[in-house]
């Protein structure tokens, strides 16, 4: 098989991953490849048992075209989602379905010189326990907080390694090609490819987490900025509160709107005797459980919990108003860990837009809640591997015995 044919096949595989299923004509258009060549490549992929026919497209008046999709078990991807305190990982097939249980490990990133080694060890052990041969894994995609340069494979905030390249470090230790990206950019990638912002030309994806991240979709692409650091929404200096932020500055959006702030204010309110459904012994030692407790109470109508999320939502809305003034997006997507609170966020954010945004600019901007939720980063991490599928050799499917069929 020529290298050109390998490249053409990889383009088709990549497109089928993101589209779920496609016709020969659609694949020709999206891969900028001639229809006869795509037909030839599809025939070969069918013979190799890499793809399958999935029926016919809906009728548009003419002959209905056949649709094709990837076999789920052609190969797999390891998706890793990190925040400052916890790391989750799962192995997915080519239909983005988990084939292992999501594993969560406590891995603090701040002031932890061994964090990179611990991460690599956990990935290595997880793959080994899965029983899936490494040759069948296309790659590892990792979303992580911090200033991440995905092209260089460097996180300038966390996970220091001796030679600087975190991707090289993990690739060498696991034996699997590895790719990294900022967590909020990966959440935006997930929403753009599979979620609320699917195929949208312009959207701002807010990552509601321990900080307030931002992934930007501009002109139908993920916008990462010159060094890959675009989207530091959390550190907009909106407040004169003299509160020190994790970035070392004061008055950042994060100091008044992050989930850590919500949890801290919940604990303070409980100490001060606020009437609430929240347990008076809110698990302060576990921010994740405490956050889920606040959101659960708010969903049950607890006035104090709703008040906490509404205050944070209003402050986020002040930041969103700035984004709308600068970028005039089509939609705002609320995603990430905190999006499980759903519509509770929408009213206070809209109130802030009513007060701080020019009506003409905000008139056609919709505020959407992600359906991917806390799994958005894992979905984006898997997508990162396939975004880079043309760049690496691993994951090339081996020919398998199967029924030979002819594309017509």
pLDDT of residue 194: 94
| Two tokens, residue 386 | 């396939």
The confidence score (pLDDT) of residue 408 equals 40
Q: Where in the chain is the domain with CATH 3.30.420.40?
A: 76-183+377-391, 196-371
Task: Name the CATH superfamily, with its identifier, for domain 196-371.
Answer: ATPase, nucleotide binding domain (3.30.420.40)
**How many CB atoms are located within 10 Å of the residue 30 CB?**
17
Q: What is the pLDDT of residue 112?
A: 86
Whether the model clears a pTM of 0.85, i.e. scores above it, the answer is: yes
CB atoms within 10 A of CB 267: 18
Measured between alpha carbons, how far is 167 from 212 in angstroms, rounded to an integer?
25
| Phi and psi at residue 182, to the nearest 5° | -60, 140
Provide the β-strand partners of residue 109: none
Q: Please give the C-alpha separations between residue 219 and each of 150, 194, 216, 224, 386, in angstroms, as whole numbers.
A: 20, 17, 10, 12, 21
pLDDT of amino acid 236: 94
- Helices 376-387 & 183-194 angle (0-180, nearest 10): 80
Q: Name residues of the chain where pLDDT drops below 50.
A: 398-408
CATH, range 76-183+377-391? 3.30.420.40
The pLDDT score that the predictor gives to residue 110 is 85
**Which of 401, 336, 333, 326 has the alpha carbon at shortest distance from 369?**
333
- How far apart CA 40 and CA 279 sit, in angstroms, is 63
Ranges of H-type helices in 165-252: 166-174, 183-194
pLDDT tens digits, one per residue of 89-104: 999 999 999 999 999 9
As a whole number of angstroms, the distance between CA 167 and CA 174 comes to: 10
CATH 1.10.10.10 domain locations along the chain: 3-70
Which sign does the torsion angle of CA 92, 153, 85, 106 carry?
positive
Position 403 scores a pLDDT of 38
> Is 3-70 a domain of CATH 1.10.10.10?
yes
Whole-number pLDDT of residue 397 = 52
């Amino acid at each position: 098989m020529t290298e050109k044919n390998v490249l053409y096949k990889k383009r088709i595989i990549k497109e089928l991953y993101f589209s779920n299923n496609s016709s020969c004509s659609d694949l020709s258009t999206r891969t900028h490849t001639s229809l006869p060549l795509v037909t030839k490549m599809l025939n070969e992929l069918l013979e190799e048992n890499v793809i399958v026919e999935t029926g016919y497209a809906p009728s548009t008046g003419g002959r209905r075209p056949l649709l094709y999709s990837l076999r789920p078990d052609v190969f797999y991807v390891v998706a890793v989602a990190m925040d400052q305190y916890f790391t989750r990982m799962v192995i997915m097939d080519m239909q983005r379905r988990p084939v292992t249980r999501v594993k969560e490990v406590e891995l603090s990133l701040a002031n932890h010189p061994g964090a990179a080694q611990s991460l690599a060890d956990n990935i290595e052990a997880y793959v080994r326990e899965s029983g899936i041969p490494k040759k069948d894994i296309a790659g590892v995609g990792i979303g992580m907080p911090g200033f991440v340069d995905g092209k260089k494979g460097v996180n300038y905030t966390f996970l220091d390694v001796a030679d600087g390249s975190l991707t090289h470090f993990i690739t060498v230790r696991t034996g699997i090609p590895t790719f990294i990206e900022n967590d909020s950019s990966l959440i935006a990638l997930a929403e753009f490819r599979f979620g609320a912002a699917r195929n949208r030309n312009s959207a701002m994806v807010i990552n509601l987490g321990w900080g307030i991240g931002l992934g930007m979709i501009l002109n139908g692409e993920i916008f990462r900025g010159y060094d890959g650091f675009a989207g530091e929404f959390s550190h907009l200096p909106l407040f004169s509160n003299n509160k020190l932020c994790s970035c070392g500055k004061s008055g950042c959006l994060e100091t008044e709107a992050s989930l850590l702030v919500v949890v801290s204010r919940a604990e303070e309110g409980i100490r001060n005797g606020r009437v609430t459904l929240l347990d008076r012994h809110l698990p302060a030692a576990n921010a994740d459980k405490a956050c889920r407790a606040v959101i659960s109470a708010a969903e049950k109508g607890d006035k104090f919990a709703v008040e906490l999320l509404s205050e944070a939502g209003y402050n986020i809305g002040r930041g969103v108003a700035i984004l709308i003034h600068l970028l005039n997006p089509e939609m705002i997507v609320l995603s990430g860990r905190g999006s499980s609170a759903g519509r509770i966020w929408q009213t206070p954010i809209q109130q802030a837009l009513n007060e701080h945004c020019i009506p003409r600019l905000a008139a056609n901007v919709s505020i959407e809640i992600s359906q991917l939720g806390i799994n958005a980063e894992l979905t984006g991490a898997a997508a990162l591997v396939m975004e880079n599928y043309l760049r690496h050799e691993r994951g090339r499917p081996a020919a398998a015995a199967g029924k030979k069929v002819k594309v017509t």
